[in-house]
Amino acid sequence: MTHDGPEPSAAPGGAPVGAPAGGAARSAEKPAGNPRRPLLAVRAPLPPRASLVAGVLAFVLPFLAWCIISYVPFIWHPLVHVRDAGDVNVPGEYSYVAVDQLIDLEVFEKRNQELAQAHAKPVVGERANPVFLPAPHEVARAFYTAFTTPPLRKGDYWLHESLWQSCQVIFWGFLYSALIGLPLGILCGTFSLFSRLSEPFVDFVRYMPAPVFGALAVAVLGLGNEPKITIIFIGTFFQMVLIIANTTRSVDGALLQAAQTLGANRFQLMKSVVIPAALPNLYRDMRILLGWAWTYLVVAELIGEKSGISAFLYQEQRYRHFDNVYAGIVIIGLVGLFTDQTLSFVGRFLFPWETGNSSLFRFLAQVKRAFSSRGATAPDADPINDSQVLERVPIAAMQDAAEEEAHVG
């Protein structure tokens, strides 16, 4: 085989000298990979994996600190759990030490000094935390025993009954607060007249602690759940009005101006512009305010006749069953967290104009069409006119034709 020209020489990199350099330039310009987003970028969302890890660490880190304090002997543990009291016949200032007592480390050391001087058997014990700080495994065991152990006093409620009472107080107190506070807050955020009539007094009352109305609520409403519901109402209503009003004021004014240009009246502005624009943020505000209601629960249930989860915690504290106390506190947090996350999940489907997720509304439309088609009946056929032709003729055209025929006649 013959060659018409000299064979091009190879470059050190393996590419022919005569080959175009564009490929090398393009390979040099190609990015090495997607740059990793910094975790501390200002107001930037975290990557999905980093967001998941951070959410898990939010619970793991406090639990890990609790485990370290509970199980590592040289970290805190200011007390000693006495396993063997030694020679109890030796008199002394600290001769009261007995088996299964929790004593200070200083008392433990001084009692052993007394026994050492008498050449007696020393006290034996192990480092321990105070009784009000149980270990995680004790609290985990209490999650089961608190539900299965009957009340110590006759007439007291089981834990699940107490929890149900507390949920009822939260539900009714927050419902009454929302039925009044939500519409009033929207009106205050939309119309200056309602704002000036309501917000000065609301701003004044909201600085008053809700529990100070407890005695008055008991005097007026009695010892049942009514004063407790009233405390939840007072604790959330006045805050709700101001928060809802501020959220309503954040609606873009350009939307209002555009609707007014198209001829919308006040009612149409409220119905079609203000409420739909503010509704997603109002929903998030109500989720936050619901958590606010739970913070008033313990104080509210101790007013008048003690009831609910607060009465359970109070009784367990009196009997020094602090593992049950911690279990009850964690249960309150779990109920609140479950409620908030459920509302957050539902909120993804309620506002398609913000989230773009309209699957719920499409499903409801399909259900509506299914029920409407099932209940619909076929119209009777007209023996004179051709129904298929009449369905294709617009009603307006039919009326015009009828008027023209009458005019010609």
pLDDT of res. 136: 92
For residues 47 and 131, what is the distance between their CA atoms, to the nearest angstrom?
Answer: 43
Dihedral of alpha carbons 218, 224, 230, 231, sign: positive
The answer on 279 and 202 residing in a single domain is yes
In this prediction, the residues of the chain whose per-residue pLDDT falls under 70 are 1-37, 375-409
The pTM of the full predicted model, rounded to 2 decimals, is 0.72
The answer on 341 and 192 residing in a single domain is yes
CATH number for the domain harbouring residue 168? 1.10.3720.10
Determine, yes or no, domain membership for 36: no
Number of domains in the chain: 3
For residues 333 and 183, what is the distance between their CA atoms, to the nearest angstrom?
Answer: 29
The answer on 292 and 183 residing in a single domain is yes
Closest CA to 97 of 111, 76, 78, 117: 111
The answer on 184 and 118 residing in a single domain is no
The answer on 279 and 235 residing in a single domain is yes
The answer on 251 and 105 residing in a single domain is no
Where among 317, 333, 359 does a domain terminate?
A: 359
The answer on 235 and 178 residing in a single domain is yes
Each residue's pLDDT tens digit, 146-199: 888 888 777 778 888 889 999 999 999 999 999 999 999 999 998 989 999 998
For residues 301 and 230, what is the distance between their CA atoms, to the nearest angstrom?
Answer: 11
CA-based R_g, the chain, Å = 37
pLDDT of res. 24: 47
Determine, yes or no, domain membership for 25: no
Each residue's pLDDT tens digit, 334-354: 999 999 999 988 888 888 877
The answer on 335 and 196 residing in a single domain is yes
Where among 343, 359, 375 does a domain terminate?
A: 359
Determine, yes or no, domain membership for 141: no
User: Which residues are CB-contacts of 163 (< 8 A; sequence separation ≥ 6)?
Assistant: 308, 309, 331, 335
Residue span of the structural domain in which 112 resides: 79-128
Determine, yes or no, domain membership for 233: yes
The answer on 93 and 206 residing in a single domain is no
The answer on 113 and 202 residing in a single domain is no
Give me the amino acid identity at 392.
R
Give me the amino acid identity at 377.
T
The crossing angle, in degrees rounded to 10, of helices 136-148 and 159-190 is 100
Dihedral angle, C-alpha 18, 21, 24, 29, nearest 10 °: 180
The answer on 119 and 70 residing in a single domain is no
Determine, yes or no, domain membership for 408: no
Determine, yes or no, domain membership for 392: no
> Would you tell me how many other CB atoms lie within 10 Å of the CB of residue 347?
16
Q: Number of H helices and number of E strands within the chain?
A: 18, 3
Alpha helix (H) ranges present in 118-225?
136-148, 159-190, 192-205, 214-221
Each residue's pLDDT tens digit, 74-102: 788 888 989 998 888 889 898 889 988 88
Each residue's pLDDT tens digit, 254-264: 888 888 888 88
Determine, yes or no, domain membership for 256: yes
> C-alpha distances in angstroms, 31 versus 25, 26, 38, 181, 380?
12, 10, 18, 55, 71
The answer on 111 and 61 residing in a single domain is no
Average model confidence (pLDDT) across the chain:
81
Determine, yes or no, domain membership for 178: yes
Please give the structure tokens belonging to residue 269.
């502005």
Where among 317, 336, 359 does a domain terminate?
A: 359
